[in-house]
Amino acid sequence: MASFSFAEEGKKKSKHFSIRTISQYLVILIFCISVLWYNSADLKSLNTLLKVISIPFLLYTYYILFSRTLFEDRRNFEKFTTYILWFGLFAGIVSLFSLVYPINPKYEGLPSAGLLNHPNSTSFIFTISIAVLFYKYFEKKIPVTVFGILIVLFSIALFFTLSRAGYIATSLAVLILTYNRSKKLFFASIIILMIVSVTFLLDINFAKTDSNTSRFSLILSALMMIFSGQQEMLWGHGIQNAFLVFDQTKATIGSLDPVPNPHNVLLLMTMQFGLLMTASVLFFLFMIFINTFLILRKSVMLERENDISLSLALSCSLLLQNFFEDIIIFPEAFVFTVFIIFLGYLNYTIKVYKNGLIKNAT
């Protein structure tokens, strides 16, 4: 098994900046240029100003400090994932209850919104909970009976959100988690998930035809807005101003959809901060994911394998789910917090590995 020496971290320094580190600083630089220079007028809004201030604070708190705490003491990681599972259990019960007695009358007879105001937002809870449930089972922290009961509860609750993005993201998370456990289990999961996903998606597609048309108009409006000018394309329209311009653009194509965003994190990020920001963020995430995958392939952190797999599964699945949503970009959303924490865990894992803090790796 691999052992870790954290006391030496302050003494060990990389001899050169890695591409991952450079891309990380590039994201920060482009964010500052977009927000503080090209879209500085947007800072006159108190709401925008508070968001700009909160983003670096939250990133430092969750991405650096909290994720490091989870890595350096596995008991913290276990406690944190246990809290997530308990919350998922509570949310699942509430979601089933809301099918009979809707908490939000708007969704009576429609998808279960559960604890939140919208079913799509609720689906994120179960994407996260199902991934954590598999992790707990693989870590032998829960018996098979508990696993069976909870997987049924979470699956039913997720299904009744009618969130296609939730189904796809959860499938990806399960595939990543099972990949390092057993190739047979992995391929069996692919077959089962393909059958279930195709069946569900065909049914839901007929139930949400209007939703598909609406999404197309939102995407078209976002693209028109992004490519309205060179500066807007490269540096965006600003955090708050982007929504105002988006509404105006929708009106020009005759869209009456009240949804204030394009339901796609890449489009919304480009609308707010520009194409350079989106490209740099994607490149940074790619570096995180590929480095993590290589670490798992080398089996140099066997005692952390499930922890790393869970972090990778949640980071990838939540990102994928936000290709159909955009809640992850809002710092006040719980999805932002969960994503940043587990992404930070991956980043710290790579840092530990690259700096040679692993001894006696087997």
Task: Note the pLDDT tens digit of each residue in 238-267.
Answer: 999 999 999 999 988 877 778 888 989 999
pLDDT of residue 84: 97
Contacts of 46 (CB under 8 A, 6+ apart): none
Mean pLDDT, residues 328-347: 95
Cα 162 to Cα 78: distance, rounded to the nearest angstrom: 31
Using CA atoms, how far residue 265 sits from 46, 242, 262, 319, in Å, is 23, 13, 8, 8
pTM across the whole model: 0.88
Domain positions in the chain are 1-72+211-302+312-362, 76-207
Cα 320 to Cα 318: distance, rounded to the nearest angstrom: 5
In which residue are the tokens 């939730």 written?
Answer: 166
pLDDT of residue 290: 94
Judge whether residue 225 has pLDDT over 50.
yes
What does the pLDDT look like over 183-219, one tens digit per residue?
A: 766 776 677 667 666 665 565 555 555 555 677 888 8
Encoded tokens for 224: 């028109």
Asked if 42 and 240 touch (Cβ cutoff 8 Å), the reply is yes
Mean pLDDT, residues 153-165: 89
Cα 346 to Cα 343: distance, rounded to the nearest angstrom: 5
H/E stretch holding 359 reads: strand 358-359
Which runs of E-coded beta strand occur in 107-171?
Answer: none
Going by the DSSP 8-state scheme, the letter that residue 358 receives in this structure is E
